[in-house]
Amino acid sequence: MNNKFLYAKIKSRKKGKILINTVIMTLQFFFTAVVGIYFFSLLYSQRSGQSAISHESKKELEKLNALEKIKLTEPLSEKTRPKRLGDIVGQEESVKALCAALCGPNPQHVLIYGPPGVGKTAAARLILERAKHTACSPFLPDAKFIETDATTLQFDERSIADPLIGSVHDPIYQGSGAYGNAGIPQPKPGAVSNAHGGVLFIDEIGELHPVQINRLLKVLEDRRVKFESAYYASGDKNIPLHIHKIFRDGMPADFRLVGATTRNPEDIPPAIRSRCVEIFFNALDKKSVEKIAENAAKNAGVSLEDGVESLISQYADNGRDAVSIVQTSISVAATEGRKNVLVKDTEWVLKVGKYQPKVISKCSDSPKIGVVNGLSVSNLMSGYFMKIEASAQKSTEGGKLCANGIIESEQIDARGQRLIKKSSAKESVENALSALKNVFKIDTGLYDIDINFPGGVPVDGPSAGIAIACAVYSAINKVKMPCDIALTGEVSILGAVYPVGGVAAKIEAAHNAGIKRVIIPEDNYRRTFEDSGVEIICVKTLKEVIGICFKDAEKEGGKEGIYTPNENIMIAAGSEVKN
């Protein structure tokens, strides 16, 4: 009886286990089916998505390939772009200085100043190739040239993004990348590191933000970039070794900086200027513009009628303007089925383009009373030839002084600040009158004196002192001033002649104006002036200046000159003028 009960109980338990196992297997099958369906649908959706992306990508690729087949003619500005340093027109001395700064055994950082369109960027692009082929240069054959524009170098003050210096992409900003998921900060190199071992060219460097300038100065000093991040831990073994090395030692950034700007030197921070060699590119003269126009026409495969180059040089301020005028003139000729550009084609282009002719001053053919050839220089070290006029009449009511044509103040916008720059030309006039009174005992108070600076040229600084003194002396004594002499130099109230700035550019401007002799302060003399094409006369005193200018001059009416000093005058060529 007991055995039957026990047997029935065991049998019942077996049936229960079988039922439970059946239920479990059913559930397992069910969940397996659900999971299988889920992954199948996920895989299907992924494949569908990839198929859609691939199909869309194929369509976009076809569009890009179609766009690649559409090509316009190469712009003339690209055809005429210099291929070697010798192709840069009108900047021979500046290019030589650039080679000296970067192609030697110890290359230096360089700042290039100059007007737009005179070859600054072209020279910077080509200088590294010249350096690579110089035996003593440390630049390797694979040295990189990294070109940037300061106007487009936008950065974040939190260092999230800085295309110039570099930045660290913290995990919070990385998204779902490998480093972001692992919580690893990722340093990103900037232009300074990309230029390691080569040249970093920054166009319009004067537009850099002060914060970027300070960071750039630190990189120039350390020759590497240091990074920081709140997500970096030196003991974290999950961080790759190369990232540890970057945070520990910094990223290499040993390069040479070449910065170009159209700003004036005083607009560039002194800390940058003190680390760089400063090179000035000159404004293009008439012959240089003619050469650029001729090369542009040659590259375009057309001929220019006689007089076209000369006409363009009267209106174009730089190479870009010259090429643009030539290109438009070629188009005008092409519409009429011609391959030669006529003068009338260019005249039409200048008319519709509203081009204004350049005012090019030349020295007079004959001496005149009260008219003196002066010289000035812009902040970009471009020289200018200018005339200074003076008249003097006996006064019955006490002498008066009137100075016209002086731009007394200029408004300058620089780095968000508005500055007013005042001229000191009036002070130079007063100094010149005092010198005449003290040295030659000429009582200028007995005359009504008018001094004019024709053309409204910004006259700043005291460098017109001796020119003003000669103009007033000529006007009072009615003696003619030689027309082949130009002058520059500061004069003191006691008659001493002091050195001034920009003498090399002034001498070049005098040569271009047809001047034969230039009087400069003795302290400004350099041996390089001997190759300037004009006679350089050095002086120490106003007496020497008057002696040179009016030794052979005659009064109106045929009488002798007023004053001849008994002193020797030093001339750059090594001779002396003895009286």
* Residue 579 CB coordination number (10 Å): 11
How would residue 96 be classed by pLDDT, with cut points 50, 70 and 90?
very high
pLDDT in tens, 361-392: 778 888 899 999 988 887 656 778 888 899 99
Predicted local distance difference test score (pLDDT) of residue 12: 66
How far the first Cα of the chain sits from its last, in Å, is: 162
Give the global pTM: 0.75
Are 258 and 201 contacting, i.e. CB atoms less than 8 angstroms apart? yes
CA distance 98 to 279: 7
Average pLDDT over residues 491-509: 89
* Between 460 and 524, the higher pLDDT residue: 524
How would residue 343 be classed by pLDDT, with cut points 50, 70 and 90?
very high
Are 449 and 400 contacting, i.e. CB atoms less than 8 angstroms apart? yes
pLDDT of 55 over the 80 cut: no
Identity of the residue numbered 569: I
Predicted local distance difference test score (pLDDT) of residue 509: 86
Predicted local distance difference test score (pLDDT) of residue 20: 76
Identity of the residue numbered 340: N
Q: Which residues contact 41 (CB under 8 A, 6 or more apart)?
A: none
Predicted local distance difference test score (pLDDT) of residue 571: 42
> What are the tokens at 42?
């996920």
pLDDT in tens, 218-270: 999 999 999 888 888 888 888 888 888 998 898 999 999 999 998 888 888 99
* Between 274 and 155, the higher pLDDT residue: 274
pLDDT of 574 over the 60 cut: no
Predicted local distance difference test score (pLDDT) of residue 423: 55
**Integer-rounded Cα radius of gyration of the chain:** 38
> What are the tokens at 328?
């438009």
pLDDT in tens, 518-571: 999 999 998 888 888 889 999 999 999 999 998 755 444 443 333 333 333 344
HSE-up of 480 (CA within 13 Å, CB side)?
17
Predicted local distance difference test score (pLDDT) of residue 520: 93
How would residue 473 be classed by pLDDT, with cut points 50, 70 and 90?
very high
Query: Which residues are known to be catalytic?
Result: 463, 506
Q: How far, in whole angstroms, is CA 572 from its chain's centroid?
A: 34
* Between 343 and 396, the higher pLDDT residue: 343
Contacts 24+ apart (CB under 8 A), 357-361: 357/314, 357/315, 358/314, 358/315, 358/317, 359/455, 360/286, 360/314, 361/385, 361/386, 361/387, 361/455, 361/513
Lowest mean pLDDT among 74-83, 148-157, 421-430, 561-570: 561-570
Identity of the residue numbered 50: Q
In 245-370, the DSSP E strands lie at 251-252, 256-261, 276-280, 303-304, 340-341, 368-369
CA distances from 410 to 136, 137, 263, 424 (A): 47, 45, 15, 12
Are 356 and 321 contacting, i.e. CB atoms less than 8 angstroms apart? no
* Residue 130 CB coordination number (10 Å): 18
How would residue 425 be classed by pLDDT, with cut points 50, 70 and 90?
low
Average pLDDT over residues 156-165: 74
Are 393 and 370 contacting, i.e. CB atoms less than 8 angstroms apart? no
Q: Which residue has the tokens 């400063």?
A: 278
Instruction: Calculate the average pLDDT of the chain.
Output: 82
Identify which of 348, 293, 295 has the alpha carbon closest to the alpha carbon of residue 316: 293
* Between 176 and 547, the higher pLDDT residue: 547
Helix, strand, coil % (nearest 5) of the chain?
45, 20, 35
pLDDT in tens, 101-133: 999 999 999 999 988 888 898 898 899 999 998
Lowest mean pLDDT among 94-108, 184-198, 416-430: 416-430
> What are the tokens at 306?
């006689």
pLDDT of 194 over the 70 cut: yes
> What are the tokens at 240?
């790759």
Average pLDDT over residues 295-311: 90
How would residue 87 be classed by pLDDT, with cut points 50, 70 and 90?
confident
pLDDT of 577 over the 80 cut: no
% of the chain residues with pLDDT over 90 = 32
Tell which phi-psi region holds residue 533, choosing left (phi > 0), alpha (psi between -120 and 50) or beta.
left
For 411, which DSSP code?
E
Identify which of 101, 105, 108, 103 has the alpha carbon closest to the alpha carbon of residue 132: 103
Q: Which residue has the tokens 């006409």?
A: 311
pLDDT in tens, 61-77: 888 899 888 888 888 88
pLDDT of 407 over the 80 cut: no
Are 231 and 185 contacting, i.e. CB atoms less than 8 angstroms apart? yes
pLDDT of 3 over the 70 cut: no
